[in-house]
Amino acid sequence: MKALLLAAALAANPQPARTPAPSTPPAEAAQPFLVERLGHDAIARIYAPGVPALSRDEKRVAWHLSLAAHAGEEIAYDQLGWDTVAIKRLMESVYLFGREGHAEPGSFDAKLADYLARFYAQTGNHDQTTGQKFVPAFTPAELEAAALRALKAGAPLGVKDEAALKTWLGGLRPSLFDAGVEPQLTAKAPPPGQDLLTASANTAYGRGVTLKDLEGFQEKNPLNSRVVKVDGKLVEQVFRTGTPDGKVPRGLYAVELSRVSAHLSEAAKSAPKEQKAALVKLVRYFETGNPKDWDAYNIAWLKANPTVDANVGFIETYVDARGQKGQWQGLINYRDARENRVMEVIARRAQDFENRMPWPDVYKRKKVATPVAKAINLVTSTPTPPAGINLPNEQHIREKYGSKSVLVSNVMEAAAAMKRLPLAIEFSRTPEDAAKSRQYTVTARKWLVAFHEVLGHASGQVDPKLEGNTSRYLKEYDNTLEEARADLVALWHAFDPSLATLSPEHERIAEQMYRDYLVEGLTNLNQVPEGDTFEEDHQRGHHMTVNFLMEKGAVKQVVDGGGEGKPGRTSWVVEDSGKMRVAVGELLSKLMVIKATGDYEGIRKLVQEKGIRFDPKLRDEVVARVRAVEVPADVVLISPWLVPVVDGKGQVVDVKVRHDQGFIAQHLERSVLGRLPPAEATRVAVKLAETPEALAEEYRKLPR
């Protein structure tokens, strides 16, 4: 189970028992981060030590931007399933008002907490890595009994009586309990008789809309819309609030986006000039939904470089099988001066690195705008945060105005301690390699992410005929190509002599980057415990790259030990770093040409032949080895707990940061704050920090 106790919040209705952290965690370094285990996964905490040093205005901006992120969270849930918002509110109500009060393992309360925690972690009931649906361990009868208890206790379930509640539960039953109903979040390899859209559980397109229906249909708002059928005709439902004068009508998610915009406007009041201008443009975009307003915001955002920054909106397109529709994202951060050096070195030499890319000169950028590159710490994240970010995604803006690239320090620290370093050690072939992992893995990962974000996504230029929109041509393979290409850029430049300014051991760090890239490729198998295919774009791109390197003889698979019924230990080994770099350059050049020319068939062939299928026997070996050393399959993060301090007029005068909030408690608080206007959300946040037991009371007040 994932969450800590809700303090005294639910003393009358105790929290189910938790699985304590193991007495011997995967590595000593994990101890400051590890909170508890959730089966084969783990809960970890990230820290925000720099918040006290922020100015008063910066703290106000961070607070109101965090509220904006919370206000859009249910949009993210709605995008990942037709019933996910209803299930979320049902589970929250039952958790707060309908539990039995028995905390022992195997009880309904324990199974409910387990499911709710996993639901929060995955933003719905599909695993974000495999895309596979998961169902609760409790029964429909147990849930109905608990929901009836919650209704009698005044939970805001939105039904008038028991009969209406049972009808509602019956409608949700297939989505909740039947793993065969909408089994795959994003189906890029659909079963016979279905296509990419009809086999996907996400809501990027209306029910029944097929790829064939979309032939010849051009969305005006490809990033921020849902395409549905109305009376047999395709209609684009744009995500927008509408303009105050009514000239632009309200659209889908108008209520949620109105709350988002209210919080953004509050943040703008305390923001520096250039950031304020960007936030005003973002509010305008949420009003109109116009792609030109999105471009205007991104250009303004690139010009601003504040200490506290944010990525808020419909941004990444991984969930849409066509790679068009953006998923809601809210990442709020502040600059981490400690880790800036590697980002700055790479950014300053961006043009030189571009000039030495292995692809044809015609696709090299002749005038690279120095990218904004920095290390940050996250204070708020929706959904699960990445280790690095490069935005905006729009190719035409990158080529003309540049990009912002960040390395997420506090996320990387937790991930390295909990997972990457222990895996690098476990999958080292020799004791000497294990010693090198202990010494160099953490730094090598930072360098790879820095190159991936600063140079990888921002590099290259495409044929003008594509108008900067490669996804229109590469379709469902666009994201796979782009993630593989960005990793290859890092591997290509890993041995650059200029990195000696960062460390005299730069070549050893580069060698470790190569070894760790193979370890990551091998241990990606641990993320797919069933089946024999990768569905997630990063994993497909990684698998494609490793298979290409093996075909070129730069990497080999070695099995040590085994025999007499005992399994061996498989390793993927770098035959020669120089030979591997040559192969990296060959594939990188190939991918850039495919991207630049919009060669759909070229990338389809590469991914289909090298990126999708794997050996399930090798996967089973990897899973067994990972579990044996108690390295979590996945790490779920608890964000820092921001607590506003207000004056007598209710104005925010300070923001404190705490690190004692549990996982479920954090998400329940977000559910409350995200549905309130700015002043009320701030007041309630102060109250909940002082009186945690008030959480149920505040939840009960929410609109039904």
Average pLDDT per consecutive 10 residues, the chain (704 residues; last block may be shorter): 29 34 42 84 93 97 98 98 98 97 92 96 94 97 98 96 98 98 93 92 97 94 97 97 97 98 98 98 98 98 96 96 96 90 91 97 91 92 88 92 92 93 95 96 95 93 88 93 97 96 96 97 94 94 98 96 81 95 98 97 97 96 93 92 96 96 97 97 97 96 86
pLDDT at position 30 is 60
For residue 627, the SS3 value is: helix
Buried b (16+ CB within 10 A) or exposed e, 665-683: bbbbbbbbbbbbebeebbe
Contact status, residue 204 vs residue 220, Cβ threshold 8 Å: no
Distance CA 534, CA 547 (A): 14
Q: In Å, how far are 249, 343, 404, 475, 671 from 310, measured between CA atoms?
A: 27, 18, 11, 28, 20
Distance CA 261, CA 282 (A): 8
pLDDT at position 619 is 96
pLDDT at position 212 is 95
Which candidate, 176, 157, 137, 165, places its Cα nearest to that of 97? 157
pLDDT at position 704 is 75
How remote is the C-alpha of 571 from its chain's centroid?
A: 29
How remote is the C-alpha of 693 from its chain's centroid?
A: 31
Residue type, 693: E
For residue 497, the SS3 value is: helix
What number of other Cβ atoms are within 10 A of residue 235's Cβ?
12
Within 613-694, residue ranges assigned H as helices are: 616-628, 663-673, 678-690
- Counting Cβ atoms within 10 Å, is residue 13 exposed (0-12), middle (13-18) or buried (19+)? middle
Q: Please, what sign has the CA dihedral across residues 78, 701, 9, 71?
A: positive
Which candidate, 479, 491, 478, 477, places its Cα nearest to that of 448? 491
Contact status, residue 521 vs residue 545, Cβ threshold 8 Å: yes
What is the DSSP code (8-state) at residue 387?
S
pLDDT at position 19 is 38
Which candidate, 703, 682, 690, 640, places its Cα nearest to that of 333? 640
How remote is the C-alpha of 510 from its chain's centroid?
A: 27
CA angle 540, 543, 547 (to 5 degrees): 140
What number of other Cβ atoms are within 10 A of residue 389's Cβ?
23
Q: Give 228-244 as a DSSP string.
A: EEETTEEEEEEB----T
Question: What are the φ/ψ torsions at residue 693 (nearest 5 degrees)?
Answer: -70, -10
Tokens of 80: 């990942």
pLDDT at position 187 is 93
Q: Which residues pair with 228 in a beta bridge?
A: 235
Stated as kind and residue range, the H or E segment containing 301 is: helix 291-303
What radius of gyration, in Å, describes the C-alpha atoms of the chain?
25
| Residues with Cβ within 8 Å of residue 185, at least 6 apart in sequence | 80, 81, 124, 126, 127, 128, 131, 132, 133, 200, 201, 202, 319
Dump pLDDT digits (tens) for 172-189: 999 999 999 999 999 988
pTM above 0.85, yes or no: yes
Per-residue 3-state assignment (H helix, E strand, C coil) for 401-468: HCCEEEEEHHHHHHHHHHHHHHHHHHCCCCHHHHHHHHHHHHHHHHHHHHHHHHHHCCCCCCCHHHCC
Q: Which residues pair with 327 in a beta bridge?
A: 316
Q: In Å, how far are 535, 649, 702 from 679, measured between CA atoms?
A: 43, 10, 15
| CA neighbours closer than 13 Å in the CB half-sphere of residue 655 | 26
What number of other Cβ atoms are within 10 A of residue 477's Cβ?
26
Dump pLDDT digits (tens) for 689-700: 999 999 999 999
Question: What are the φ/ψ torsions at residue 382 (nearest 5 degrees)?
Answer: -140, 120
Distance CA 173, CA 136 (A): 11
Distance CA 280, CA 293 (A): 11
